[in-house]
Amino acid sequence: MDADGEPAPGPVADYRPGDFLLAGPHTTVTATGTAAVVAESDPDELAARVTKYLVDTRAPLAVGALPFDPAAAAHIVVPTSVHRTGSVHPFQWDGPRWTPRPPSVTALPSPDGYRRAVAAAVSALRADDELRKVVLARTLHLAFDESVRIDRLLGRLAETNPLGYTYAVPLPDGSTLVGASPELLLSRRGPQVTLNPLAGSLPRGADEATDRANAAALLASRKDQGEHRVVVEAVVEGLRPFCRALSVPAEPSLVSTATMWHLSTVITGTVNDPDVSSLRLAAALHPTPAVCGTPTAAARAAIGELEPFERGFYSGLVGWCTAEGDGEWVVAIRSAEVSGNGMRLFSGAGIMPDSDPAAELAETDAKFGTLLRALGV
């Protein structure tokens, strides 16, 4: 705290509306201003244009987001000012809490509607041998009687998610995508790449015994192990043309957030071409079955039929890259779009042939908890 009782200067405490922030376990990047914007859907053209601009201007890095739909344009910004540091953790938010009056809440779809959508997806999966997984999401729209204090929300998210990636990304429509993702899609440091796909989840328990039981149940779950295997296989196949010496553990491990247990696999490799950027690699892998399903085209078609909203940048990617190709890209989950006094929260679950609609609804409820707990709602 400083002499005036305000939070000490730092990447999270100094956040201002319109800034970019990605605070992870190892690296924190903040950026302000806009020197250029690259809006492109073709992954090769996107990466080439961003790299050329960084080389020509000697800007330190570019930041931004890719939408869920690969056919939609990315939003990559070359900022006027960049600050890159190590991890902010352990982090404690010493600033004032945002304590608004309880908001009005609108669910889309309704809980019953989501259960029906899951049941429809299960029927489609059982009827089609080629369709292996579909990820279905739902939303909550919160309407407050005052503007959402993104700065204070980010402080609470960083405090309560020390192993995740707290982020705020300005979007083309003037809204801001905020969240605390547990999932690293890809990072590149020199020739080395690291990926950490997550798939297969159960809520944390309310007490220690229940929590341990849920963790053990997740490791033993045939449904969740199958869901995880689908994601790992897809990520490896997507990465193989770009990398050699891939290292893939035989079995997943457990990782946890404040609200969820996840199955996790850390994959490492070495790029074949030193000129391929982290942005190009990330675009090649997106969307993975962790946020879409598999096969991609069939899963996206099912999502289009069963989800009554457009995802936009939810379940897309947020991150940064340098001219040399280094960078970090995380999956934009546990997120919300913030605009004025409104927040649209997103939460999804991977649907498999043996999924239970009530259990999938409970999983999405638990995932909403990341933001709702930070809000104190």
Report the C-alpha gap between 225 and 223 in whole angstroms: 6
Which one of 40, 45, 52, 133 is the catalytic residue? Answer: 133
The catalytic position among 159, 183, 307, 337 is 183
Whether residue 367 lies in the annotated active site: no
Is the peptide bond between 109 and the residue preceding it cis, with omega within 30 degrees of 0?
yes
Cβ distance 171 to 157 under 8 Å?
Answer: no
Please check whether residue 157 is in contact with residue 258, taking contact to mean a CB–CB distance below 8 angstroms: no
Cα separation of 227 and 231, whole Å?
7
Reported as half-sphere exposure (CB side, CA atoms, 13 A), residue 268 has a value of 6
Q: Would you call 250 exposed, middle or buried from its count of C-beta atoms within 10 A (0-12, 13-18, 19+)?
A: exposed
Phi, psi (degrees; rounded to nearest 5) at 328: -145, 130
Entry field: residues in the chain: 377
Examine the residue annotation and report whether 223 is marked as an active-site residue of this protein. Answer: no
Say if residue 187 is exposed, middle or buried (CB neighbours under 10 Å; 0-12, 13-18, 19+): buried
Active-site residue numbers? 133, 183
